[in-house]
Amino acid sequence: MVYCSGCLLKLVVSAFETKRTKKAGIVGKYGTRYGASLRKQIKKMEVSQHSKYFCEFCGKYAVKRQAVGIWGCKDCGKVKAGGAYTLNISPNSTSPYFSQNFIFQQSLYTAYTILMTTFSPCEGRAGEPGRPRQQALTAISRNFCT
C-alpha cells in the first residue's frame, strides 16, 4: 500500500490518541489531584464497582451494582445483597475482628438450626408448647451473647 505523508501522519496521531488514559483508566477524570496512591486505591474500587459479575441464578455475567450493597441481575431480575464495591466480600479481607465475629455467628447459626430441628414446637408441658426449644435458646443466648 502507498500512503501519502498526510495520511500516515493521521494514522500515527490517531494511534497515540487512543492510548491516552491507559495508565490512569477510570480515575483519569481526577487529573493530577488527590495524589497517586489515593487515585490507585480509588481505581481498584471503581473498577470493581462498575464491572459485571456472575449471576448464580441464571448463569450469566449480568449482575451490576444498583446502590450501596444492592446488586441486581439485568437478565433475570434477581436482587442480592453484597458489599459496597464488590458483589461478594471475603471475611478475611476486612479485619481480624470481622472474621472472628463471622465465624462465631456461623457457629451460632449452626447450633440454632440444630436446636430448631431437634425440638418440635409441640413438645413441652400442657399449655406451654415449645418450652424446651425456648429453654435451649435462652441457654444459648446466656452462654454466647455476653
Concatenated DSSP letters of 39-58: HHHHHHHHHHHHS-EE-TTT
133 Cβ neighbours under 8 A, 6+ residues apart: 115, 116, 119, 121, 123, 124
Length of the chain: 146
Residue 24 grid coordinates: 490512569
pLDDT band for position 127 (50/70/90)?
very low
Query: What is the dihedral sign for C-alpha 57, 59, 61, 62?
Result: negative
pLDDT digits (tens, 9 = 90+) for 80-110: 888 888 888 776 555 666 667 777 777 777 7
